[in-house]
Structure 1
Amino acid sequence: MHLSAGATVAAIGAGTVAVLVIGAVLVGMFLAISITAGSLVVVALVARSLLNSSHTQR
């Protein structure tokens, strides 16, 4: 099967767009996971601080 020059360019363009879109989605998911993990760390630190302060005041 021989592709014309236009079809080859279109195939390369479509492949490039697909890779960029998939990359953007993966980076977005990674950022969302990182932000969620950071938020959980902050909540854990605040909860630990509150629990420690309540134990020391008794």
Structure 2
Amino acid sequence: KSKEDALLTVEEAMALLKGKNRATLWRWEKRGYLAPMRSGKRCLYRKSDIEHLLTNSTN
């Protein structure tokens, strides 16, 4: 796997998004900006998806 394809936990995703909270992640998921992967009860996000949101400044 490349670094861009790394999977992040909710906490890691929030840290990468510099202060965004779980509600923001949930809202972006509902709007189709993020497509998390589920592993049991865990929700994982692709690092490349998070970085794409950062470069496109989606609110």
User: What TM-score do the two structures reach when normalised by structure 2?
Assistant: 0.23
Give the structure with the higher percent strand: 2
Q: Which has the higher contact order (CA 8 A, sep 6+)?
A: 2
TM-score normalized by structure 1? 0.23
* Structure with higher helix content: 1
- From the CA coordinates, give the structure whose radius of gyration is larger: 1
